[in-house]
Amino acid sequence: MKILLNNQTLTKTLGPFSDIGFVPTMGGIHKGHISLINRSIKSNKKTIVSIFVNPKQFNNLKDFKSYPSGIKSDLSILKRIKKLDYVYIPKFKDIYQNNKKSNIKIEKKYKILCAKFRKGHFEGVLDVMNRLTKLIKPKNIFMGEKDFQQFFLVKNFIEKKFNTNVIGCKTIRNRNKLVLSSRNFLLTKKELNEVEKISKEFLKLKKKIKNIRKINNFLQISKKKIEDFFNIKIEYLENINIKNLSKSNKYKGSRIFLAYFFKDIRLIDNF
């Protein structure tokens, strides 16, 4: 595994290759990331992982400052993946040297869920994905369905503009079905147990809505109950059609999307 620390080395190293699989991350490497990397290794001659905590996608400075980062432990985990070729760890100036203000906009119909509650977040994500794709020129980008709205918007944006496929990969959970996330590193063991209990309550909803007609009404009532029971703030809890991201009362073709705050840590999931 070769570590690439700037754009010059990146361009020189990747130059001869066209069959490149790319896994963008913000570090805090866990088994969710590793599943994307293994998927890329299976489908591409070369695989590159990036670690870059992109300040432009944080709508909250405190969230950015407290984002779990540990480059040493990330590298020691990544080194164990025998067939991983490259890790790219750019500095801010490598990505934003051409700091032309981006005019990337999110269509109004997609300004729901995280786009509604984290103003400017996806504009920041699309901007950095645009820059990374220009630099790396991957054949395939692998992204997690855990962040489904992100995957959906990046796929729409990148596949229109570049000769690159954006491939969605299934969500990895721990043995108690809690979705793996770098933000889980911010939780103590006790807090993690509590979050697992909350997550179980959310997951139960999937069965409950199976035979309900007004799914979103039911979810609104459940939202209030779960908030009161666990003393948490839920930002959204909605049943969404995964083809067009519109609100839906149909079970088929939809997923429940949710975001909530446990203490001041924002967690998301969809299933």
Report the site for ligand AMP in 146-175 (rule: CB under 6 A): 146-147, 169, 171-172
Selected from 84, 135, 144, 266, the binder of ligand AMP by CB under 6 A is: 144
Number of shown-chain residues binding ligand AMP (CB under 6 A): 17
Sign of torsion over alpha carbons 121, 122, 127, 133? positive
- C-alpha span between 92 and 249 (Å, rounded): 43
Selected from 181, 184, 254, 270, the binder of ligand AMP by CB under 6 A is: 181
* Residue 16 Cβ vs ligand AMP, minimum distance, rounded to whole Å: 27
Q: Which residues contact 149 (CB under 8 A, 6 or more apart)?
A: 110, 113, 114, 115, 122, 245, 257
33 part of the active site: yes
Sign of torsion over alpha carbons 63, 174, 21, 70? positive
* Residue 39 Cβ vs ligand AMP, minimum distance, rounded to whole Å: 10
For ligand AMP, give the closer residue by CB, 33 or 121: 33
For ligand AMP, give the closer residue by CB, 36 or 226: 36
Report the site for ligand AMP in 13-32 (rule: CB under 6 A): 25-26, 32
For ligand AMP, give the closer residue by CB, 79 or 250: 79
Selected from 4, 10, 14, 36, the binder of ligand AMP by CB under 6 A is: 36
Residues 7, 90: contact at Cβ < 8 Å?
A: yes
Contact residues for ligand AMP, defined by CB under 6 A: 25-26, 32-33, 35-36, 143-144, 146-147, 169, 171-172, 179-182
Task: Give catalytic residue positions.
Answer: 33
